[in-house]
């Protein structure tokens, strides 16, 4: 969030605690409404570039077919996928968005229409409130998987590299050969300003998790307005 904005210019529209996390919707005078989870900015209405970056590599598939969005409860990635399919005729059969927290989706419908539009109600869309890990373990032959979740381990005692290797193996098994994975990774600064972890270390962990089952890597660095920096996205095809 831009440091030159005065605190009183940013207003809280609603705040709630779900069974999973604290969720807040704020209004920023420059970036529009924003989704904040556990005090961390997730996305703003100004940030369509994030959603475009998450979806655009799938265009290389020619046709979209069956796509799963892991996370992305604000609906922005889902909306962008549906919009590109509508404009370009990418033969999307079904887009399934899986997110653990129904409150994120509910609040996004109400406060973030600039991101999600009517995507949650689109006939080609299915919204599942549930565990993404359960979903990818039980679904096969997907054409695309968009990973819009944390890259940090969700279990205690597990390193980031261990978490990613376990997860990406499951993602690979859910994709058909030649299917596409695209994921958000990290910022482009040498070190994360909050954790101090180096970008080089994060990207090495991600690439180590992918190299066994994926190839034809494509990295994007895209400026996200409300983040105030470029963000790294990585796409790859299943071998």
Q: Is residue 148 annotated as part of the catalytic site, yes or no? A: yes
Torsion of CA 168, 174, 179, 184, to 10 degrees: -40
Burial 83-112 (b: 16+ CB within 10 A, else e): bbbeeeebebeebbbbbbbebbbbbbbebb
Strand order in the sheet with 142-148: 125-129, 92-99, 65-71, 142-148, 175-187, 229-238, 214-224
Q: Which two tokens stand for residue 102?
A: 């129904």
- Among the listed residues 74, 85, 99, 148, the single catalytic one is 148
Q: What span, in angstroms and rounded, lies between the C-alpha atoms of 192 and 195?
A: 6
206 Rama class: left (phi>0) / alpha (psi -120 to 50) / beta: alpha
In order, the DSSP letters of 209-239 are: HHTTTEEEEEEEEEEEGGGTEEEEEEEEEE-
Adjacent-strand bridge partners of 25: 14, 35
Query: 3-state DSSP call for residue 108?
Result: helix
List CB contacts of 18: < 8 A, sequence separation 6 or more. Answer: 101, 102, 103, 104
Query: 3-state DSSP call for residue 40?
Result: strand
Active site residues: 148
């Amino acid at each position: 969030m831009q440091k030159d904005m005065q605190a009183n210019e940013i207003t809280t529209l609603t705040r709630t605690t779900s069974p999973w996390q604290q969720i807040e919707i704020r209004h920023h005078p420059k970036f529009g409404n924003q989704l904040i989870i556990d005090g961390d900015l997730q996305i703003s209405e100004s940030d369509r570039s994030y959603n475009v970056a998450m979806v655009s590599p799938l265009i290389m598939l020619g046709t979209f077919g069956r796509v799963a969005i892991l996370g992305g409860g604000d609906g922005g990635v889902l909306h962008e996928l549906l919009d590109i399919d509508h404009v370009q005729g990418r033969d999307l059969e079904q887009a399934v968005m899986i997110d653990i927290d129904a409150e994120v989706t509910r609040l996004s419908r109400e406060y973030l229409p600039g991101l999600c539009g009517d995507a949650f109600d689109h006939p080609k869309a299915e919204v599942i409130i549930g565990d993404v890990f359960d979903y990818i373990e039980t679904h096969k032959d997907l054409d695309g998987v968009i990973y819009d979740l944390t890259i940090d381990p969700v279990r205690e005692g597990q390193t980031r590299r261990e978490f990613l290797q376990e997860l990406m193996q499951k993602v690979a098994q859910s994709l058909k050969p030649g299917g596409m994975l695209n994921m958000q990774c990290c910022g482009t600064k040498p070190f994360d300003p909050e954790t101090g972890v180096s970008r080089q270390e994060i990207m090495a962990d991600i690439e180590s998790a992918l190299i066994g089952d994926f190839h034809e890597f494509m990295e994007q660095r895209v400026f996200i307005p409300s983040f105030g920096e470029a963000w790294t996205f990585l796409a790859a095809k299943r071998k």
